[in-house]
A and B are shown apart, each in its own frame.
Chain A
Amino acid sequence: RKEVEQDPGPFNVPEGATVAFNCTYSNSASQSFFWYRQDCRKEPKLLMSVYSSGNEDGRFTAQLNRASQYISLLIRDSKLSDSATYLCVVNRGGGFKTIFGAGTRLFVKA
């Protein structure tokens, strides 16, 4: 089993749709959590950090449930430009390793 598991995707949604991505992590020593976005043939870039209290950035909302070891990303009012791969990322303490999920591909169609 992988340490960080994501929905396999791809997700194909129309513009304006709401889409949710899920991610689970297996190591309870994980200390910080992020969502990254990777466009085709580009490097990953930070989309947002994920805090225990939940956090929102415009159309994007991230949630963390430490008890269930589960992270989510909600995108409201999807735009064509949201089409990308979304990576769930976990920083594990005790030697500090950054673990990337395999990513979930999103296609937003007109």
Chain B
Amino acid sequence: SQTIHQWPATLVQPVGSPLSLECTVEGTSNPNLYWYRQAAGRGLQLLFYSVGIGQISSEVPQNLSASRPQDRQFILSSKKLLLSDSGFYLCAWDGQGIGAQYFGPGTRLLVL
């Protein structure tokens, strides 16, 4: 069966510090991968998606970036965090041609 992992689970970072969040998927190959942000009391905002290694598409202009160095690994990064980057970050995957996405446990980021 497929499993999706995210770490860390919680992160508290000062403004201006760098960020690296990691997501890995097990039990499938060539998945589509997604990064979402969920602000408190709000819906899910798609940040990036990837259909293959090295292929990244950005949905929202911001100071975040994403990379996919391996088939089942997706990384969300920032060089300098802003207060507005606080939120709940979710990684998701789906198989090619399947409409539903499966989410990881999420990383709660607080920027102070």
Asked if A pairs with B, the answer is: no
